[in-house]
Structure 1
Amino acid sequence: MSSGLARAALTGYRWAGMVAYPLIGPYLALRAAKGKEDRARRGERFGHASLPRPQGPLIWFHAASVGETNAVVPLIREMRRREINVVLTTGTITSAKVAESRLGADAMHQYVPLDLKPAVSRFLDYWQPDVAIIAESEIWPTTIMELGRRHIPQVLVNARMSDRSFARWRKRPAIAEALFEHLALVIAQSDVDAERFRDLGALPVMVSGNLKVDNDMPPHNPEDLARYRGQIGARKTWAAISTFEGEEMAAATVHRTLKERDGLLTIVVPRHPERCDELEKALVEKGLKVARRTRNDALTPDVDIFLGDTIGEMGLYLGLTEVAFVGRSMFAEGGQNPLEPAMLGCAVLSGGHVQNFRDTYQRLARNGSARMVRDVEMLVKAVHYLLTNDAARQSMIKAGLDTVQDMRGALISTVKGLEPYINPLTVKARLHPRAAAPA
């Protein structure tokens, strides 16, 4: 496809969105009925702001979901230290809760406008960002083109390109180039990611490492942690975190197999807590007793499964164990980020489908802090081995902490790459103190 045809295709995409715009309301209403949209804030998805824009320079950060939100938290705090205003958009209810709990007043949160020209234009007309900073792998054609039309610099930070996404873009190189040429800068997680973005037409591209390594420890209530540890006592524990369909039942199989030998408590933290009612029913049908965090159930000796059905408490769940299986890796594909359990002193186990975090897993595995399991039988053996072999478990934990320490520095590199865009805003913010915005 020629560059001219690629631009025509993107223009067609934009016009198709405008035609579909009137039909989006019922679709969002259906999603809200299923708990996937915030009913009270649906207007934000159409670009209607629910907060006043403060005076002074402003950066628009976009993070799709929980992982991306956590990744940009230290970067947002750095912008606020420089007195630059921040509006953060996310796409899910869970990420909105994470943003509120971790950032508070440091960022104004809005749900991301739909990638339709009326919504995007309304959002940009109101917020008038000086720079747009997008986390990881969010590529929305209309948004990118509209930012480009307004000459608003847009930077992709902590950028990654999965195998699947790269293969898809490679089939449409002209469209990829027509979009990525609008990016002022790509700051990639790894050399592989950087090379992929360059191949698709993005320039300039630099490598920073993973921002998630420079994050604070996940927050938790120390009183809750102490209380649960007291209830658990001498029982052995392990956790299956960020799990997807099928992996919770794999965790149940591990528990039933090892319960009598190891006196086990299994902690299960699904990636999507809204599935927990259904999961509890399935676990009970297997003869397992379930305690839930939202009910504040006690972890009595007869409890089999502690179901972590809350948002933003991974620090609590991982604080109760030293062995963690990271999900979306055995039956689903792509993997989830293993850095959090490694940072919190856990030996890391994972299935083999970790394409989205291949570089991170390779570094952890190479240093002896992560092990891959092919199937449920291998997971049973790995959990049993680590629970009964203190030396092996502690060796993996130490290797993980050392690896994370070696990987730090992404925040400094990212800020350095952003300096041409944020330094003028810092000067402007400090020369012209913000006045209170009108209500």
Structure 2
Amino acid sequence: MVDQATHRRSRVRWALPLLRVVYGLAWFLLFVLGSPWWIARSILSKEFRVMVVGRLALDVPGLGPAPVRGRILVHGVSVGEVKASQSLVAALVQEHEVVVSASTDSGLKVARDLFPDLTVVRFPLDFLPLVSRFLGCIQPTALLLMELEVWPTFIHCSDRRGIPIAIVSGRITPASLANYQRFGPTLTHFDRISLFAAQSEVYAKRFRALGADPDRILVTGNVKVDGIRMELEQATDGEKQSHQDLRRLLALDPEVPVLLAGSTHDTEDLTVTRSFAAAAPEARVILVPRHPPRVPSVVEALGRAGFQVQLLTDLRIGREQPDASRPLVVDTIGELEVLYGLCTLAFVGGTLVEHGGQNVLEPAAQGKPVLHGPSVSNFQQEAALLARVGASRLVRNGAELGRAVAELLADPSEARAMGQAGREAVRSQQGATERTLEALGAFQILPPGGRSQA
């Protein structure tokens, strides 16, 4: 399969300069045709204006030449990838200067919260003048891309500047694999990547299927697991304080179960709230939409269904007092992990709709029983791990979710056993950061002069 992909690619090498011109021209036309809309919306919305300025690389600080110890650019497209980089960044900063980039507003906010002492910048659009300006300002000595974020112009420009590139904690879903294979012969920017540090052999096989050099593919594991906090005893003092503050703010009663739905999408909020209410009318229900801009529509949908919702920000400013009989919608970013630590049972969203799921290991690491729907294509390995050790339950609809909740609340020993199994399963997967650092050193991606310790 690798030979076929490589052969198809070699047949189009003569056309690569033309393809790059066409790709660049497409971006130019996008700018020309889209500028009136961007300008109008930027005038009306400060948030959109800030985003546009960042994507155009107009606010990137000029950092000057990299120090001898090197300047490593770690890029995660959004919240999940940024959070996944925590353990790796923590190890790298021991010996190198680190800059973190993200593409989305939520990713940038989380990056700035997690890495307050580091330079955090927005990743530019993949248009040659913008990429050149970005790289000229940052001047990285190595580029680490979390999971999979391979923009052709950015990869090409980085390689031309002699910047080694690595895919870290690499993963590629079946849907993404199919999409890449449609453009298989043109994926020559994969040849410019020095290392594919894959999460598992399944993902390594998919990278090989796309024609990546097998000698550059290693299975190093999922660094996200190393960054997941294992219960409260591993938390920092600040995290412990956040845990205590939230518990007080929500006025949680130890005798009342807390049912949490994390990273919900689309119609899941209403489905889950109805199921929770039917299974345990006395429970405290907490909903954490994956994307905070959805909160108004979530509140409206629940209101039409007869649920009077509370917002976390309203409790914080004292506009309302906590009421356990009303569902709480979390309209902030970066608090899900702490909330997982407070709940009794956790449902992981993006799984009852065709989205592909969210990270099921986060609640498992907190020792919580995990419930999820059938759509887990984005986290197949993680979901399979929890299922294998009996730490999760698959529910196909709201009715099954309600039954699972009722059964686990009626059998606390079973719930505790699931939580313990999940915690041990997560612990068994740790160590990817150390393996990744070893691979980065072996492939000479990190500057010479000692290797960071995890």
Native 8 Å contact 1:89 1:109 kept in 2: yes
Q: Deviations over 1:131-157 (max 9, x none)?
A: 111111212111112222223111110
For structure 1, which segment, 349-358 or 219-228, has the greater mean C-alpha deviation from structure 2 after superposition? 219-228
**Alpha-carbon distance in 2 for matches of 1:199, 1:388:** 48
Give the letter aligned to residue 289 of structure 1.
Q
**Alpha-carbon distance in 1 for matches of 2:36, 2:166:** 33
Native 8 Å contact 1:325 1:350 kept in 2: yes
How many positions carry a matched residue from both structures? 423
Tell me the residue number matched to 2:374. Answer: 352
Runs of 4+ in 1 over 6 A off after TM superposition: 33-36
Tell me the residue number matched to 2:437. Answer: 415
Tell me the residue number matched to 1:39. Answer: 49
**Alpha-carbon distance in 1 for matches of 2:162, 2:209:** 24
Are residues 301 and 424 of structure 1, via their aligned partners in 2, closer, same or farther at CA, if it must alter by over 3 Å?
closer
- State the Cα distance separating 1:48 from its structure 2 match: 2.5
Q: 1:66 aligns with which of 64, 79, 95?
A: 79
The yes-or-no answer on 1:247 pairing with 2:259 is: no
Tell me the residue number matched to 2:354. Answer: 332
Native 8 Å contact 2:258 2:345 kept in 1: yes
**Alpha-carbon distance in 2 for matches of 1:194, 1:37:** 38
Tell me the residue number matched to 1:371. Answer: 393
Tell me the residue number matched to 1:208. Answer: 220
Native 8 Å contact 1:31 1:37 kept in 2: no
Cα RMSD of the aligned pairs, angstroms, is: 2.4
Give the letter aligned to residue 23 of structure 2.
Y
Tell me the residue number matched to 1:12. Answer: 22
Give the letter aligned to residue 63 of structure 2.
R
Tell me the residue number matched to 1:148. Answer: 159
SS of the residue corresponding to residue 104 of structure 1 reads coil
Are residues 386 and 147 of structure 1, via their aligned partners in 2, closer, same or farther at CA, if it must alter by over 3 Å?
same
Are residues 167 and 422 of structure 1, via their aligned partners in 2, closer, same or farther at CA, if it must alter by over 3 Å?
closer
Give the letter aligned to residue 267 of structure 1.
I
**Alpha-carbon distance in 1 for matches of 2:334, 2:280:** 28
Tell me the residue number matched to 1:313. Answer: 335
Q: How does 1:252-291 map to 2 (within 5 A)?
A: 252-260=273-281, 263-291=282-310
Tell me the residue number matched to 1:173. Answer: 184
Give the letter aligned to residue 129 of structure 1.
P
- State the Cα distance separating 1:37 from its structure 2 match: 5.0
Native 8 Å contact 1:242 1:270 kept in 2: yes
- State the Cα distance separating 1:40 from its structure 2 match: 3.4
Native 8 Å contact 2:276 2:405 kept in 1: no
Q: 1:90 aligns with which of 92, 102, 111?
A: 102
Tell me the residue number matched to 1:400. Answer: 422
- State the Cα distance separating 1:346 from its structure 2 match: 1.2
**Alpha-carbon distance in 2 for matches of 1:247, 1:418:** 40
Q: Deviations over 1:25-76 (max 9, x none)?
A: 4454577689795533632211224434155121111110000000112211
Q: Deviations over 1:215-241 (max 9, x none)?
A: 052846133133146443422221111
**Alpha-carbon distance in 1 for matches of 2:57, 2:181:** 32
- State the Cα distance separating 1:375 from its structure 2 match: 1.2
**Alpha-carbon distance in 1 for matches of 2:133, 2:116:** 25
The yes-or-no answer on 1:109 pairing with 2:120 is: yes
**Alpha-carbon distance in 2 for matches of 1:317, 1:101:** 17
Give the letter aligned to residue 188 of structure 1.
A
Tell me the residue number matched to 2:204. Answer: 194
Native 8 Å contact 2:56 2:124 kept in 1: yes
Percent identity, aligned pairs only?
A: 32
- State the Cα distance separating 1:386 from its structure 2 match: 1.4
Tell me the residue number matched to 1:3. Answer: 12
**Alpha-carbon distance in 1 for matches of 2:104, 2:40:** 15
- State the Cα distance separating 1:23 from its structure 2 match: 4.2
**Alpha-carbon distance in 1 for matches of 2:203, 2:283:** 40
Give the letter aligned to residue 264 of structure 2.
T
The yes-or-no answer on 1:130 pairing with 2:149 is: no
- State the Cα distance separating 1:333 from its structure 2 match: 2.1
**Alpha-carbon distance in 2 for matches of 1:264, 1:118:** 55
Tell me the residue number matched to 2:150. Answer: 139
Q: 1:382 aligns with which of 386, 391, 404?
A: 404
For structure 1, which segment, 289-298 or 3-12, has the greater mean C-alpha deviation from structure 2 after superposition? 3-12
Give the letter aligned to residue 386 of structure 1.
L
SS of the residue corresponding to residue 328 of structure 2 reads strand
Native 8 Å contact 1:189 1:207 kept in 2: yes
Structure 1 unaligned runs (5+)? 430-439
Structure 2 unaligned runs (5+)? 1-7, 230-234
Native 8 Å contact 1:46 1:118 kept in 2: no
Native 8 Å contact 2:170 2:199 kept in 1: yes
